């Protein structure tokens, strides 16, 4: 085995593992003594850095691991979770405000207040863990009821729902 | 009696026939049917001797071979009184064998490829939590926005609701709108279930409108209704012509 | 962004994803048009192959994915627990060949070509996600129709179904 092949194998091992691989394991798999493995991996680390490759090798407690470069974070984030970049839409914000003030509330009640269907905002808020399904209402159809989560409180800096500011101009009847 | 002979296993009657034809080194387009039929039946006897279950397909093929064999023995009709093409009784079988042989050969090629590519490893996706920003990225939001948002809706609402008493408000939906809505549901997926249309708290009015819209769509042949058995869920599908 | 940086980002994206990434996603994340992304990825593929790197990039239906090289199999197997071999029977391979070329195809049509019932091969292929139920055919009995999956392409090293070699036409001499 020439050194190029050894590097290629180490690369594939680190890739498949995804995790940290101990130098002992590399040495065992390759049948090469640890100091040599260490020297080769060090060369690889330099190479990845000098070439500005997409991954770098990091060493932790005699284990080696691939990881991405901090400067690529933005792109990776876009790939992994594109929708997190969008924040809350107007529709979601409206729905959230209704749930916050009127909880527990059903989807039909939300629709009725907004005058449009709120299915997609509700799923978006559920997904973001800003509201949760708090059970079903008694009565015909037993519709799902929604409440805000602790995450919601955290995000808006509230200790509890009772801290929500009072709404101007509106009396209970109007709601 | 000890069994020292390993009986070759065939995938089916066509596989066995191909084997016999190759062994006999004869032309597939001109199979000596009598000879091959005899060998075929001999093989089936062997299978029985070894207590192997002979699948019905093998028996059907044996009957077909015997039939072809007997038709080959019939005197050929004179040329002038047969306007129909002089059909070789073997023709259909030969076509089947050739077709099967193509796929059988390709399957060996597949097997070679499989031997290479099953030695390839893929890595699991990285745990994405480390890349998802936490909720602090939503910090553009303020309490004011929340209250204002609700107040605006309520303002709009109070105008809209003036005439209506306290009851759950729902826009009156027309049959045309419902038809459009159903057709749109079918643009994103090939089918949905009947009960998807009737969510928990649908009003009686909307049930009726939905039902009429469905009937209308069936009438104009843009959808298709299916139910495997009674009481099973009803499927609504896009009609493809 | 220079081309080296783009390659570096693509490398990190493919590494993080693990799975196949569609060219549309790469194009979206990078903000670069698809033909350019395709050209760059093709250069990367060549580079990985020429340099005998530990990973290679494979293309399946316009998606790209990292995987290891078959020749490193032995070493990787020593490191990670051996993956369950696909181990397809002759019957399953025959059935798969027929589906690959004749898709969409029904069970009866497969049976007719093979001259034998194919139920058990079909369920095996479904289970291994090499074929999938693609709906029902119009006509009497509305039989289920089958097509091959992307997994099939991957496992047999094909980019797309159009890459299947033409079936040999047999001449009399060859038989």
What does the buried/exposed string (b/e) look like for B63-92 if buried means 16 or more CB atoms within 10 Å of the residue's CB?
Answer: eebbebbeeeeeeeeeeeeeeeeeeeebee
Interface partners of chain B (CB pairs < 8 Å, 3 or more) are A, C
Question: Is residue C174's pLDDT more than 50?
Answer: no
pLDDT digits (tens, 9 = 90+) for C109-144: 999 999 998 999 999 999 888 999 998 888 888 899
**Contact list, A169 vs chain B (CB under 8 Å):** 151
State whether residue C53 sits within 8 Å of chain A by CB: yes
Residue A21 binned pLDDT confidence (cut-offs 50, 70, 90): very high
pLDDT digits (tens, 9 = 90+) for B33-70: 999 999 999 998 888 887 777 778 899 999 999 999 88
- The answer to whether residues C135 and C157 touch, using CB atoms and an 8 Å cutoff, is no
Regarding beta strands C63-68 and C55-60, do their DSSP bridges make them parallel or antiparallel, or are they unpaired?
antiparallel
Query: What is the reported pLDDT for A140?
Result: 78
Q: Of A87, A111, A167, which is closest to B147 when you measure between CB atoms? A: A167
Residue A129 binned pLDDT confidence (cut-offs 50, 70, 90): confident
Question: Is residue B3's pLDDT more than 60?
Answer: no
Which of these three, A48, A78, A108, is where a domain ends?
Answer: A78
State whether residue B196 sits within 8 Å of chain A by CB: no
The answer for C 7-46 residues in CB contact with B (under 8 A) is 15-19
Is A85 contained in some domain? Answer: no
Query: What is the reported pLDDT for A114?
Result: 84
CA distance C10 to chain B (A): 15
- The answer to whether residues C71 and C56 touch, using CB atoms and an 8 Å cutoff, is no
Which whole number is the average pLDDT over B174-186?
82
* A95 and A31 inside one domain: no
**Contact list, A98 vs chain B (CB under 8 Å):** 150, 153
CB–CB of C115 and B101 under 8 A? no
* C64 and C107 inside one domain: no
* C66 and C100 inside one domain: no
Domain with CATH 1.10.10.580 in chain B: 134-160+174-238
* C131 and C67 inside one domain: no
Task: Output the CATH code of domain B134-160+174-238.
Answer: 1.10.10.580
Which whole number is the average pLDDT over A86-112?
85
Q: Which residues contact A18 (CB under 8 A, 6 or more apart)?
A: A66, B123, B124, B126, C18
- Number of other CB atoms surrounding residue C53 within 10 Å: 20
Regarding beta strands A105-106 and A144-148, do their DSSP bridges make them parallel or antiparallel, or are they unpaired?
antiparallel
Residue C108 binned pLDDT confidence (cut-offs 50, 70, 90): very high
Task: Return the higher-pLDDT residue of B241 and B21.
Answer: B21
- Number of other CB atoms surrounding residue C95 within 10 Å: 32
Residue B200 binned pLDDT confidence (cut-offs 50, 70, 90): low
* C73 and C94 inside one domain: no
CB–CB of C85 and B118 under 8 A? yes
Question: Is residue C175's pLDDT more than 80?
Answer: no
Query: Which DSSP symbol is given to A77?
Result: H
Query: What is the reported pLDDT for B136?
Result: 37
Number of domains in chain A: 2
Query: What is the reported pLDDT for A81?
Result: 64
User: And the tokens for A162?
Assistant: 């009772």
Question: Is residue B238's pLDDT more than 70?
Answer: yes
Residue C84 binned pLDDT confidence (cut-offs 50, 70, 90): low
Q: For C7, name the nearest residue in chain A, comparing CA atoms only.
A: A54
Domain with A71 in it: 3-78
Is A68 contained in some domain? Answer: yes
pLDDT above 90: percentage of residues in chain A? 36
Query: What is the reported pLDDT for B1?
Result: 43
Cα separation, A168 vs B148, whole angstroms: 9
**Contact list, C91 vs chain B (CB under 8 Å):** 11
State whether residue C51 sits within 8 Å of chain B by CB: no
- Can you give C12-32 as a three-state secondary structure string? HHHHHHCCCEEHHHHHHHHCC
Is C84 contained in some domain? Answer: no
Question: Is residue A85's pLDDT more than 90?
Answer: no
ipTM of the predicted structure?
0.63
Q: Mean of the per-residue pLDDT values for chain C?
A: 88
pLDDT digits (tens, 9 = 90+) for B143-152: 777 777 777 7
Q: Which three-class secondary structure state does DSSP give residue C49?
A: helix
State whether residue B205 sits within 8 Å of chain A by CB: no
* C128 and C148 inside one domain: yes
**pLDDT-wise least confident of A7-11, A108-112, B168-172, C151-155:** B168-172
Question: Is residue B168's pLDDT more than 70?
Answer: no
Cα separation, C35 vs C22, whole angstroms: 13
Q: Which residues contact B212 (CB under 8 A, 6 or more apart)?
A: B175, B178
Please report which helix (H) or strand (E) contains residue C63, including its range: strand C63-68
Q: Mean of the per-residue pLDDT values for chain B?
A: 76
Is C170 contained in some domain? Answer: no
Cα separation, B134 vs B132, whole angstroms: 6
Query: What is the reported pLDDT for B137?
Result: 45
Which whole number is the average pLDDT over C35-64?
94
CB–CB of B149 and A154 under 8 A? no
Task: Return the higher-pLDDT residue of B38 and A116.
Answer: B38
Is A83 contained in some domain? Answer: no
Cα separation, A7 vs A46, whole angstroms: 13
Q: Which CATH number does the domain housing residue C140 bear?
A: 1.10.10.10
CB–CB of A16 and B121 under 8 A? yes
Query: What is the reported pLDDT for B159?
Result: 57
State whether residue A54 sits within 8 Å of chain C by CB: yes
Is C83 contained in some domain? Answer: no
Question: Is residue B95's pLDDT more than 80?
Answer: yes
Torsion of CA A72, A75, A79, A83, to 10 degrees: 130
Q: For B123, name the nearest residue in chain A, comparing CA atoms only.
A: A16
State whether residue A7 sits within 8 Å of chain C by CB: yes
Q: Of A9, A21, A80, which is closest to C72 when you measure between CB atoms? A: A9
Is C11 contained in some domain? Answer: yes
Is C47 contained in some domain? Answer: yes
The answer for B 161-180 residues in CB contact with A (under 8 A) is 168-171
Which of these three, C78, C105, C123, is where a domain ends?
Answer: C78
Query: Which DSSP symbol is given to A85?
Result: G
């Amino acid at each position: 085995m020439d050194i190029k092949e050894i590097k290629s194998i180490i690369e594939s091992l680190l890739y498949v593992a995804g995790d940290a691989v101990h130098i002992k394991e590399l040495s065992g798999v390759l049948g090469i003594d640890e100091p040599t493995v260490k020297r080769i991996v060090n060369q690889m680390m330099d190479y990845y850095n000098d070439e500005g490759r997409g991954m770098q090798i990091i060493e932790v407690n005699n284990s080696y691991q691939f990881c991405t470069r901090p400067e690529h974070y933005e792109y990776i984030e876009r790939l992994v979770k594109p929708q997190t970049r969008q924040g809350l839409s107007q529709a979601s914000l409206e729905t959230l405000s209704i749930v916050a003030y009127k909880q527990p509330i059903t989807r039909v009640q939300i629709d009725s207040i907004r005058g449009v269907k709120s299915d997609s905002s509700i799923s978006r808020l559920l997904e973001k863990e800003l509201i949760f399904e708090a059970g079903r209402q008694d009565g015909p159809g037993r519709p799902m009821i929604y409440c805000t989560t602790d995450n919601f409180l955290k995000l808006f800096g509230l200790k509890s729902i009772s801290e929500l500011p009072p709404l101007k101009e509106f009396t209970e009847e109007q709601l | 009696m000890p069994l020292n002979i390993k009986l070759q296993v065939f995938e089916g009657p066509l596989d066995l026939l191909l084997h016999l034809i190759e062994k006999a080194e004869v032309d597939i387009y001109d199979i000596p049917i009598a000879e091959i039929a005899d060998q075929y039946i001999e093989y089936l006897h062997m299978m029985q001797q070894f207590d192997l279950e002979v699948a019905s397909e093998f028996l059907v093929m044996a009957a077909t071979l015997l039939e072809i064999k007997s038709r080959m023995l019939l005197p050929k009709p004179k040329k002038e009184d047969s306007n129909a093409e002089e059909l070789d009784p073997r023709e259909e079988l030969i076509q089947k064998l050739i077709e099967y042989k193509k796929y059988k050969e390709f399957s060996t090629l597949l097997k070679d490829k499989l031997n290479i590519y099953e030695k390839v490893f893929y890595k699991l996706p990285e745990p994405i939590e480390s890349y998802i920003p936490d909720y602090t990225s939503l910090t553009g939001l303020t309490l004011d926005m929340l209250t204002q948002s609700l107040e605006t809706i309520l303002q709009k609402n109070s105008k809209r609701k003036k005439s209506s008493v306290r009851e759950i408000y729902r826009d009156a939906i027309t049959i045309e709108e419902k038809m459009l809505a159903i057709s749109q549901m079918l643009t994103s997926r090939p089918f949905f279930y009947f009960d998807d249309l009737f969510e928990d708290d649908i009003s009686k009015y909307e049930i009726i409108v939905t039902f009429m819209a469905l009937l209308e769509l069936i009438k104009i042949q843009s959808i298709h209704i299916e139910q495997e058995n009674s009481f099973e869920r009803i499927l609504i599908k896009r009609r493809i012509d």
